[in-house]
Structure 1
């Protein structure tokens, strides 16, 4: 379970203040998949980073019960001079999982072939994302944080990614940022809409999708 307690976050860009979290309080139940919807720039990814602990709120607190992943698919923490294999083994040691088991899983899933043993700096953005998704899914967490991850790669890889993610949801929960209504319907139990720093939570994903659609039409 994840609790947001009066979480507030403001950015100042070019002298202008942008509130992405205005004293948000919410509970994400354990074992449930929660979609976070909202317009581009609403602060969805920032909210995910605060939940992960990689970004601090200005005030309030995020209380995490159980283990929570880094944002799934995030490739920014890979060391560019190390190979995909070396990065995978390093992450396995950090999280205390079996190094060989994680390496086998990632090598098979990410489909990088010989590139797996080349420096990450030589990877395309898609290759980095496939590596990051494989590493993320290869480690079991109580809650996965997901930022549009299954949009990576061709149709076949996206389908494989979603199938694997769905398997993980049989035993874990998730908080996921997505713009895909079909994905929300297929994967999520509940949903929230982030707008002007407020998070509107819905038990029924159709209600959240209707809210999100109205926002998108208003700005079209």
Structure 2
């Protein structure tokens, strides 16, 4: 189970505090691959950062007994002055990997990311696509119970996208995902539950197609099966 309990998150602005969430609650059951969808500005990226531990709550708490990844595909998370190789080594040390495990993880990411000599260049010289390839490969090098993914399988050419999708599908045979995307085909393919996020609230749909329809045509779709978060 992943529970957000009375979560409040805000940022300072020239007009005072800007609240993204205020006393926000959400519960995602075990065994669910959740598609996180909603209009721009609803708080999807902020929610992913909170779940991945990249942002602090103003108040409330997030409760889970699952091993959760960092948000894959969102900006940040890599140290720009370090090379791709050194970033991978650094993350491995954080996860208390042994020397043999570090070598294996580095080799895996280098082969998977397909960024060539750039693997040994500073990450600040990378394009956004190269950063996403590195981040996705790095996350897939570890076994998490729950992956947080932001449309990263859309990066690269057709062959790389296919490889990424196949690897993610293999991971999901034993793990779960919270996946945010504007591609509703990907949401339908990967997810068995939809969280429709609107400013300040969320609605859970156990029927994925109904959740997608509510997002695309919110005034025309019945909310009978929706479960308030």
Length-normalised TM-score, structure 1: 0.91
Could you tell me how far 1:214 is from its partner in structure 2?
Answer: 1.7
Structure 2 runs not aligned, ≥5 long: 221-229
Counterpart for residue 87 of structure 2 = 87
* Structure 2 residue 43 is matched with structure 1 residue 43: yes
CA distance in 1, matches of 2:88, 2:74: 13
- Asked if the contact 1:31–1:174 (Cα under 8 Å) also holds between the matched residues in 2, the reply is no
CA distance in 2, matches of 1:153, 1:162: 12
Residue by residue over 1:90-118, the C-alpha shift from the partner in whole angstroms, topping out at 9 and shown as x without a partner, is 21111123101111110111001121122
Indicate the SS of the match to 1:87. Answer: helix
Counterpart for residue 9 of structure 2 = 9
Superposed, 1:30-69 pairs within 5 Å as 30-69=30-69
Runs of 4+ in structure 1 deviating by more than 6 angstroms, as ranges, are none
Indicate the SS of the match to 1:156. Answer: helix
CA distance in 1, matches of 2:151, 2:204: 19
Indicate the SS of the match to 2:82. Answer: coil
Length-normalised TM-score, structure 2: 0.87
CA distance in 2, matches of 1:42, 1:96: 36
Structure 1 runs not aligned, ≥5 long: none
* Structure 2 residue 103 is matched with structure 1 residue 106: no
- Asked if the contact 1:31–1:169 (Cα under 8 Å) also holds between the matched residues in 2, the reply is no
Q: Which deviates the most, 139-148 or 3-12?
A: 3-12
- Asked if the contact 1:39–1:216 (Cα under 8 Å) also holds between the matched residues in 2, the reply is no
Aligned length: 217
CA RMSD of aligned residues (A): 1.9
Counterpart for residue 120 of structure 2 = 117
Q: Which deviates the most, 187-196 or 48-57?
A: 48-57
CA distance in 1, matches of 2:144, 2:206: 23
Counterpart for residue 159 of structure 1 = 162
Indicate the SS of the match to 2:24. Answer: strand
CA distance in 2, matches of 1:33, 1:145: 10
- Asked if the contact 1:31–1:171 (Cα under 8 Å) also holds between the matched residues in 2, the reply is no
Q: Which protein has greater RCO, CA pairs closer than 8 Å, 6+ apart?
A: 1
